[in-house]
Amino acid sequence: MERQLSEITKCPICFDELKNPRSLPCLHSFCLRCLKRQCKDKEPGAKEPCPICRREFTVPQRGPLGLNFNFYLQNLIDIKHGSSDVRCEGCFAIDESNLATVVCVDCDLNLCERCSLPHKQSEGGPHDVIPLSALNRTEPEQESTPKGNVGYNVGQIKHNIT
Ligand SMILES: [Zn+2]
Ligand SMILES: [Zn+2]
Ligand SMILES: [Zn+2]
Ligand SMILES: [Zn+2]
């Protein structure tokens, strides 16, 4: 099972563990840095074939940074390293996704300190931003599960792969 997990979390370009995994529309995933290398001669809007299935995708305005960050694979990698840390869902635009420290109750997003700032100062009034640790202690909806939603999901994944 451990080996299978390593296969899933391996980048097909560098054969190393995926670093900052980004998904193409065909759902193949690669390291951000590998995709950057792959698309370095391409203008935004140009077509680039997937290195695996050759299905073409459009290079986003911001380059591979604009592709979807694959939270699922990142979670698997974190679990593999024995970490159940939650990733920030606001760090799509930068190279690394920070660890989430707070959750915005209004947007239902896990966020790092930096990404939570616009929520705290939102124009329509500040959003309800609470520390993740507080969320894990209290469970408003599912009182039967001892952990918060996030911990529960990670637990599910862990269960499925072991
Ligand atoms: Zn790679
Ligand atoms: Zn593909
Ligand atoms: Zn962030
Ligand atoms: Zn918010």
- For 32-83, what is each residue's pLDDT tens digit? 999 999 999 999 999 999 999 999 999 999 899 899 989 889 888 888 888 7
Q: Which residue has the tokens 């792959």?
A: 38
Rounded to whole angstroms, the Cα distance separating 94 from 91 reads: 6
77: which 2 tokens?
């990698």
Higher pLDDT, 25 or 151: 25
Residues with CB in 5 Å of ion ligand 2 = 26, 28, 50, 52-53
Kindly report the pTM of this predicted structure: 0.64
> How does pLDDT run across 79-109, given as a tens digit for each residue?
888 877 788 888 866 667 788 999 999 999 9
**82: phi > 0 → left, psi -120 to 50 → alpha, else beta; which?**
left
Give me the domains of the chain, ranges plus CATH numbers. 1-83 (3.30.40.10), 85-146 (no CATH)
Q: Which of residues 11 and 134 earns the better pLDDT score?
A: 11
Q: How confident is the model at residue 132 (pLDDT cuts 50, 70, 90)?
A: confident
d(Cα 109, Cα 106) in Å, to the nearest integer?
A: 8
Contacts of 21 (CB under 8 A, 6+ apart): 11, 29, 30, 31, 32, 69, 70, 73, 74, 77
Shortest-distance ligand to the CA of residue 28: 2
The answer to whether 73 and 80 have CB atoms below 8 angstroms apart is no
Q: How far is the CA of 148 from the centre of ligand 4 (A)?
A: 18
Most confident of 139-143, 145-149, 157-161: 157-161
* Res 152: pLDDT: 46
pLDDT for residue 16: 95
Q: Please enumerate in sequence order all residues whose Cβ is within 8 A of that of 96, keeping only pairs 6 or more positions apart, or say none.
A: 20
Encoded tokens for 136: 């894990």
The number of beta carbons lying within 10 Å of the beta carbon of residue 145 is 12
The H or E element spanning position 114 is helix 113-120
Q: Cα(100) to centroid of ligand 2, in Å?
A: 30
Token pair belonging to 4? 């299978």
- Which-ligand-closest: CA of 21? 1
CB 115, CB 91: distance < 8 Å: yes
Average the pLDDT over 10-28 and give the result.
Answer: 95
Within 13 Å and on the Cβ side, how many CA atoms surround 129?
A: 19
Q: Give the chain's mean pLDDT.
A: 83
Model pLDDT, residue 99: 87
Report which bound ligand comes closest to the CA of 52: 2
Q: Locate 59 and state its tokens.
A: 């290079």
Residue 86: what pLDDT? 83
